[in-house]
Every structure is written in structure tokens, then in C-alpha cells.
Amino acid sequence: MAERERWSSRVAFVMATVGSAVGLGNLWRFPYICYKNGGGAFLIPYFVALFTAGIPLMILEFSLGHKFQGSAPHSFSCIRKKWEWLGWWALLIGFVITTYYNVVIAWSVDYLFYSIPVSWGDNAKDFFFKKFLQVSSSPLQLGGIRIPILLAALGVWLSIYLIIYKGVERVGKVVLFTVPLPVILLIILIIRGMTLPGAIEGVKFYLTPDFSKLADPKVWLAAYAQIFFSLSLAFGILIAYSSYLPSHHDINNSAFIISLTNCGTSFLAGFAVFPVLGYLAHVKGVPIEKVVASGPGLAFIAYPTALKLLPFAIQFFSFLFFLLLISLGIDSAFSLVEAVVTGVMDKWKLNRHLSTTLVCIPGIIIGILFTTRAGLLWLDIIDDLMTSFGLTSVGLLQCILVGYIYGAEEMRKYANSVSDFPIGKWWNFCVRILTPIILAISIILVLQDRIKSPYGGYPYPALFCGWGIFFSLIVIALWLASRRGR
């Protein structure tokens, strides 16, 4: 059998995993979640979630990939053949996420061009919804493709293809560039932000602790959800990446380094976001609550509005900001694709070129849906299903599989046998009891919520279609698992 590829160094592996973890979520999700859930006080549940779920699960996934030397489906099937489907399900969910994640990167690419003439002018909101996306009134009205978005999306897919078709060695080189770049850009934007009038107000808003929020279970769930998404857990990415490690690798230590770097970046990102929002509120003379936003609203509306008001070098800072978004997103995107490619390669022993092509082409085709005028609406519907239900379900099942069927103690021993410093029995407790309980509660609560009121007020046919996609992924996963590999 051909020799498995390997990372060229430990740094390459750590950088690639940090690159996957640090993504758009750090910039446009964390600061907002933090502000909404108690400001500085949110750091308590956040760090609890990091140490009780984030790091333990990262160690779990690293051990799986390292021990079984293969993708998620391969590793799960090594534990029990009939669990292989779970690995495929994780990859399929990740795959669907890439199809729209790439479109968001594509928006940023388009905005990179718009930042030179500052095309959004005085009304970033109208520009985004009406001129750029031209959002249709319902998800059922696709309204045709937006060519600038489609072209940028093709560019994004092409870059991903070129980065991964050669193997993880090239990935290791690319991340030496795509991981430090956003950090540098972030620091420049922090300095710019913090020296603006109103900046301090913004930071106060971000971090003033409200300890009463800690009594609210929703705040704790928000912390766990953020940790899961942010560390790229439960998509088979970490399993794939660690399967390319050499036989001696300090798994425990890497998990700590990677998670702490990721969470540190999230915290830092707040200092690039909130001072600028403080400035926006200051110039417009409105209370800051009115300008705080998250998701696309932050990146393509609130932030551009503030950039336009800068005293000098508007184009320069706008350009840097969108470059930041692209550099944050791209390594997360190719890690998702890499996880799927590894799955395909391992199962059918195909070569990397072919596997990459087989994954990228359907990815582009499905992604076209998100480049239509109804793209934003579909993105919202599918994203909610994939992250609120898909990710949590895979995380839960994965804990059960390793915690009970394989045996947490066995896995802990394995991780310790290859690592420099050992992890204690607390790990078993986190994997077997704590994390599964929290994930199960979260699934039940969100489900209750969705039954009470349809998500986002979208029409039922569209929501059912979303659920249809969700369940068909399970069917496809079962089918893939039943195929005989080579």
C-alpha cells in the first residue's frame, strides 16, 4: 500500500489546524455573542466550555485520526463497521457548509473590488441587499444568478482546488501565509479602531460584565455552541488532519495550543469590531445598541458604514478589512474540503487529483444556489439546520461512540501514550457525561423553539426543503457507508 502523506513539520500541522479553527466565526460571531450574553462575564462560561468540551473533543478527534490513520468514516468504521455512516454524515454536513461558506468568501472578494471606489457610499445596507445581492422576496423565488458572486465563487473554489490537490505538504506551506496574515491585519485594524473617538465606549459595551446573565442556561449553551463551531469540531476535519501526523506527536499539547490560540484570536477580534462600532455610534450620535450587528450584517453593513466615515485612508482600511475576511475564511474552507477529500481517498483508494476534482465539482454546482438572488435566504435556512442540529448531533454521537462503545479510558490511554503530558480522568467524564448532556439539551431546546415558531419566518415549503436536505444527507451517508471500498 502506498505510504500515507505526512505534514512536513509539527508547525505545519498546528498552523493548518489553527487556520481551520480561526475563521469568519471569530470575527463576526464571537464579539457579538459575547456582548449579548453578559459581556466580560461571558468569558466564564466560554472558558468553562473550552476546557470541558472544546479541548477534550479536540483531543478525542486527534486521537481518532492519529490512531486509525484515516478520515472520519474510516476511523469510525475501525471502531464499529456499522458506525461508518456517522463519519460520512459529518463530512457531508461539512461539505454543505463549504458550499455556502465559500459564497460568503466570494462576497468578500467582490467587496475587495468595491472598496477601492467605496461603492457602498452612504448607504451600505441598501447597497448590500438591493444592489449587490438583489435579494428576492422569498426563498422560493430564485430570481436568477448574480454573476459577480458566481465569478468570485468560482475563483474561491479554484484557489481551494489548487491548494489541496497536491496534498497536505502544500497545505502546510499555504497556511504559513494565511494564518499570520489575518493576525497582522487584525492588529492594524485594532490600532486604527482604538484611536478613534468613541472607541472606549465600544470596548465598554463589549466587555462590561453582567454577572446576572450567568444564571441563564441559554448563555451557557451559547458558549458551548460557539466553542464547537469555532474549533471546527464534529466535521471530521481534525480527524483528517491528524491522520497525516507522524507516529510520534504530542496530541494533548497541540490541542491546548490550537484551542487557546483560536480563543485568543476571537477575544482580540472584539477589539477590532467594537471600537469601530463605538465610533460609528459616536459620529451618528446614536446609542451603540443601534449599530451593533453580527454575521453578514456586521461585515457587509455596519463595518463598511463605519469605514466610510474614517477621517482618512478609507480605501486602504476597507481593502484591509475585506482582505482580512478572505484570509480568515479561506483556510477554514479548504480544511472542510480536505476532510471530504481524505474520506473519498481513504475509502476508494483514489488518487488525490481525482478525489479533489470529485469533491470540488459538485461543491461548485450546489453552491450556485447560494449565488442566486435568493441565495442569502437559503444560506440562512441551511446554515441554521447544519449548525444547530447537524453539528450538535454529530458531536453527541461521536461522544457516545468513543465514550461508551470504544471506551473513553482506552482512548485516553492512547492519547497519553503519544503525548508528553498526560490528561487525567476528568477527560473521561467530559466525553462520557458532560458534553453529551449539554449537546442533548441544546438539541431539545432548539427543536422546541423551531416547533413553536418557524425559523426566520420563512415559508414552510422552503423550511421543509431544508429539512429534506438535512435528512437526505443521512440517507446518503448510510448509502456511502454501505458501499464497499477498496
| Closest distance of CB 142 from ligand PHE, Å | 26
Number of residues that bind ligand PHE (CB under 6 A): 15
145: three-class secondary structure by DSSP? strand
DSSP 8-state secondary structure symbol assigned to residue 299: I
- Verify binding: residue 336, ligand PHE, rule CB under 6 A: yes
Among 14, 21, 430, 446, binds ligand PHE (CB under 6 A): 21
| Closest distance of CB 13 from ligand PHE, Å | 16
- Verify binding: residue 171, ligand PHE, rule CB under 6 A: no
- Verify binding: residue 19, ligand PHE, rule CB under 6 A: no
Question: Is residue 95 a contact partner of residue 472, using CB atoms and an 8 Å limit?
Answer: no
Cα separation, 187 vs 190, whole angstroms: 5
Cα separation, 192 vs 183, whole angstroms: 14
The distance of Cα 179 from the centroid of its chain, to the nearest Å, equals 15
- Verify binding: residue 367, ligand PHE, rule CB under 6 A: no
144: three-class secondary structure by DSSP? coil
Using the contact rule CB under 6 A, the part of the chain among 152-160, 283-291, 331-339, 477-485 near ligand PHE is: 331-339
Mask of contacts with ligand PHE, 235-274, x by CB under 6 A? x-x-------------------------------------
- Verify binding: residue 342, ligand PHE, rule CB under 6 A: no
120: three-class secondary structure by DSSP? coil
Cα separation, 463 vs 271, whole angstroms: 36
The distance of Cα 389 from the centroid of its chain, to the nearest Å, equals 15
Distances (CA, A) of 138 to 261, 375, 376: 40, 10, 10
- Verify binding: residue 23, ligand PHE, rule CB under 6 A: yes
Nearer to ligand PHE, 103 or 281 (CB): 103
Nearer to ligand PHE, 230 or 419 (CB): 230
Nearer to ligand PHE, 231 or 374 (CB): 231
Rg of the chain's alpha carbons, rounded to an integer? 22
Q: For the purposes of burial, counting CB atoms within 10 Å of the CB of 76, is it exposed (0-12), middle (13-18) or buried (19 or more)?
A: buried
| Closest distance of CB 451 from ligand PHE, Å | 26
Cα separation, 452 vs 454, whole angstroms: 7
Using the contact rule CB under 6 A, the part of the chain among 21-29, 196-204, 291-299, 410-418 near ligand PHE is: 21-29
- Verify binding: residue 32, ligand PHE, rule CB under 6 A: no
Nearer to ligand PHE, 326 or 336 (CB): 336
Return the C-alpha cell found at 331: 483556510
Among 108, 230, 252, 416, binds ligand PHE (CB under 6 A): 230
Q: Which residues pair with 145 in a beta bridge?
A: 372
Cα separation, 480 vs 95, whole angstroms: 14
Mask of contacts with ligand PHE, 78-107, x by CB under 6 A? ----------------x-------------
Return residues touching ligand PHE (CB under 6 A).
20-21, 23-26, 94, 229-230, 232, 235, 237, 332, 335-336
